[in-house]
Amino acid sequence: MLSVNNIEVVYDNVVLVLRGVSLEVRAGAITTLLGANGAGKTTTLKAISGVLGTERGAVTKGSITFGDKRIDGMRPFDVTRIGISQVFEGRRVFEHLTTEENLIAGGHVQREPRKLRRGIELVYSYFPLLKERRHQLSGYLSGGEQQMLAIGRALMSEPKVVLLDEPSLGLAPMLVVEIFDIVQRLVTQESLSVLLVEQNAAMAVSVAQHGYVMETGRIVLEGSVQKLRDNSDIREFYLGLNEVGSRKSYRDVKHYKRRKRWLS
């Protein structure tokens, strides 16, 4: 459905951030992109959604295709209109607007009031708590409620693909489980495709079907989530498990040096 083909991304015409990144987002499934902070995961999402230009970045090589249409270089508004929505890290709700006004803003590509209302009702069906808070300023919502709102706002454009960036950030474990459960239901019931960037690697591989591992702007490993779980490097340095399955001390992770064979 969505293919990133050997792209390079440069900021300010100087800084090379992504180096030949290729990945595919499978239709009707969750694909996860794992990696440490600064690996280039969020930049990959921004390259797809078209917002790189607002940060003086650009795709300088390769291509991004959605179906049979090339979308790299397309304006963010147009990327949203063709069916790709991004949920940004840190939620970024419009705090001075109510919950429902945020949803209406997310439906800015909808030209028919009927579709706008249908979108709002769909969001409320998956996030009933938002319906209770629909007249409340979003700046006063809890972190979990704001994350629900950010996902709901992305759904308002009737996307085929959702780019989901760090949905568990700053949330209590029970809320994380609830939100990922809803994401899985959306994939199954609404035929969504999701590209998930998530620091909580254990949670990511528990909900995804396929995954990629990124380091220093490159994809170094990819495969089914079962393949990733079985990989000793992934188990040790992303899932925090050693060879016998016990939890590894995180103070030892700082001594980790990237396996040279990953980059060969």
The domain locations on the chain are 2-93+160-230
Rounded to whole angstroms, the Cα distance separating 136 from 144 reads: 15
Residue 190's φ and ψ, nearest 5 degrees, are -110, 10
Split at pLDDT 50, 70, 90, the class of 192 is: very high
Split at pLDDT 50, 70, 90, the class of 248 is: very low
Give residue-wise pLDDT tens across range 204-227.
999 999 999 999 999 999 999 999
Rounded to whole angstroms, the Cα distance separating 255 from 43 reads: 26
Dihedral sign computed on CA atoms, order 219, 221, 223, 226: negative
Rounded to whole angstroms, the Cα distance separating 106 from 166 reads: 19
Split at pLDDT 50, 70, 90, the class of 178 is: very high
Choice among 19-33, 152-166, 188-202, 250-264 with the minimum mean pLDDT: 250-264
Of residues 70 and 200, more confidently modeled: 70
Split at pLDDT 50, 70, 90, the class of 260 is: very low
Of residues 109 and 2, more confidently modeled: 2
Q: Is 208 exposed, middle or buried (0-12, 13-18, 19+ CB in 10 A)?
A: buried
Q: Report if pTM > 0.75.
A: yes
Split at pLDDT 50, 70, 90, the class of 50 is: very high
Q: In the prediction, which pLDDT does 241 show?
A: 59
Q: In the prediction, which pLDDT does 243 show?
A: 52
Architecture per CATH, 2-93+160-230: 3-Layer(aba) Sandwich (3.40)
- As given in the structure block, the two tokens for residue 127 are 């996030």
Rounded to whole angstroms, the Cα distance separating 139 from 120 reads: 19
Q: In the prediction, which pLDDT does 151 show?
A: 96
For 12-94, list the strands marked E by DSSP: 15-25, 30-34, 57-66, 69-70, 84-87
Q: Which amino acid belongs to residue 159? A: P
Q: In the prediction, which pLDDT does 78 show?
A: 94
